[in-house]
């Protein structure tokens, strides 16, 4: 019986430089896909997976996210006056309950591993999930629900993986695979952003993790890795041997919304899933092409 996953960390303190100038003032995680900011998709995915405590690691210029999850009294009063019950529900239901949402600060964006380390006081010896809001996964059930099912079978550390073209291995954490049943790949090592010629596989880690608290033993050391950043991959790699480590091939389609092409594609894909939009969007795109 594995310890249940009740907490999730959302690292949202990065600079989003690949998305400038949009992210000069606006946090990348507030970019909307159709009509919802990325961070809200991430919170909803976690909520659907039974997460009870949501920890956002924010940074300078990220206050919009806190505002997004607060009550908007004036807006709610106006919507109520105008009888806009549907819109009122939309804005009232989007946040976790009081006391379930916590914020901590990463004072400088020193890397994903450092951002996760900043949440250490909230984790206190429990397994936890990490969701990068800029990786959006379109799937039913959600990616984290699928991962928790897999975690309940194998325990330890479980990360979401997908195969990428070999020329892209230098963008991801890559698994060195010991055994693979097509759904779960057991790793004997991990390498962050290897050159394609040196990558041990093409199985790459995307922004979904279930981690045991032992990862903090390694993050505590603040060792820098690829790109001079404190890498989560390096800390996870050091737990292999003590804790089982599996890559889980989720079902669904991932969009890297940290890139312009990924973000635009996600907008089209999510719009096509919507009954109120799909016909219009399909016609517009057809006409445009």
Binding interface with ligand UTP (CB under 6 A): 11-19, 28-29, 57, 106, 109-112, 114-115, 132-134, 258
Q: State how far the alpha carbon of 278 is from the alpha carbons of 57, 141, 142, 254, 275, in Å.
A: 35, 21, 21, 19, 6
Q: How far is the CB of 257 from ligand UTP (least distance, A)?
A: 9
What DSSP character marks residue 57?
E
Beta strands in the chain (DSSP E): 7-11, 32-33, 36-37, 53-58, 101-105, 128-131, 135-138, 157-163, 173-180, 184-192, 203-211, 245-249, 253-256
Q: Judged by CB, which is closer to ligand UTP: 79, or 172?
A: 172
Q: Judged by CB, which is closer to ligand UTP: 22, or 138?
A: 22
Q: Is the dihedral of CA 53, 57, 203, 270 positive or negative?
A: positive
Q: How far is the CB of 48 from ligand UTP (least distance, A)?
A: 19
Report the alpha-carbon distance of residue 76 to residue 70 in Å, rounded.
11
Q: Judged by CB, which is closer to ligand UTP: 14, or 247?
A: 14
197: number of CA atoms within 13 Å, CB side? 0
Q: Judged by CB, which is closer to ligand UTP: 79, or 133?
A: 133
Q: How far is the CB of 239 from ligand UTP (least distance, A)?
A: 20
- 81: helix, coil or strand? helix
Q: How far is the CB of 45 from ligand UTP (least distance, A)?
A: 14
Q: How far is the CB of 154 from ligand UTP (least distance, A)?
A: 25
Q: How far is the CB of 284 from ligand UTP (least distance, A)?
A: 29
Q: Judged by CB, which is closer to ligand UTP: 109, or 244?
A: 109
Q: Judged by CB, which is closer to ligand UTP: 31, or 49?
A: 31
Report the alpha-carbon distance of residue 76 to residue 184 in Å, rounded.
46
Q: Judged by CB, which is closer to ligand UTP: 79, or 208?
A: 208
What DSSP character marks residue 140?
S
Hey, how many other C-beta atoms are within 10 angstroms of the C-beta on 68? 18
First to last CA, the chain: 53
Q: State how far the alpha carbon of 188 is from the alpha carbons of 176, 182, 270, in Å.
A: 6, 16, 36
The residue at minimum Cβ distance from ligand UTP is 14
Hey, how many other C-beta atoms are within 10 angstroms of the C-beta on 20? 10
Q: How far is the CB of 58 from ligand UTP (least distance, A)?
A: 8
Q: Judged by CB, which is closer to ligand UTP: 11, or 37?
A: 11
Q: How far is the CB of 218 from ligand UTP (least distance, A)?
A: 17
What DSSP character marks residue 38?
H
């Amino acid at each position: 019986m594995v310890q249940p996953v009740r907490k999730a960390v959302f690292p949202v303190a990065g600079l989003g430089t690949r998305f400038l100038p949009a992210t000069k003032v606006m946090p990348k995680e507030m970019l909307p896909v159709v009509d919802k900011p990325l961070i809200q998709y991430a919170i909803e995915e976690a909520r659907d997976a039974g997460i009870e405590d949501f920890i956002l690691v924010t940074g300078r210029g990220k206050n919009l996210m806190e505002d997004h999850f607060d009550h908007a009294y004036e807006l709610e009063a106006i919507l109520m006056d105008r009888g806009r019950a549907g819109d009122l529900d939309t804005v009232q239901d989007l946040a976790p309950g009081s006391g379930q949402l916590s914020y901590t600060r990463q004072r400088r964006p020193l890397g994903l591993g450092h951002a996760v380390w900043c949440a250490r006081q909230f984790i206190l010896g429990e397994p936890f999930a990490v969701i990068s809001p800029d990786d959006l996964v379109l799937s039913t059930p959600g990616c984290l629900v699928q991962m928790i099912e897999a975690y309940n079978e194998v325990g330890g550390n479980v990360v979401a993986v997908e195969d990428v073209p070999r020329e892209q291995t230098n963008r991801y954490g890559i698994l060195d695979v010991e055994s693979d049943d097509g759904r779960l790949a057991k790793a004997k090592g991990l390498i962050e952003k290897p050159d394609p010629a040196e990558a041990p596989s093409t199985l790459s880690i995307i922004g979904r993790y279930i981690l045991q608290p032992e990862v903090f033993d390694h993050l505590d050391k603040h060792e820098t890795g690829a790109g001079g950043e404190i890498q989560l991959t390096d800390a996870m790699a050091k737990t292999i041997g003590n804790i089982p480590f599996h890559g889980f091939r989720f079902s669904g389609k991932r969009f890297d919304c940290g890139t312009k092409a990924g973000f635009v594609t996600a907008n089209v894909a999510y719009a096509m899933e919507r009954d109120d939009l799909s016909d219009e969007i399909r016609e517009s795109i057809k006409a445009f092409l």
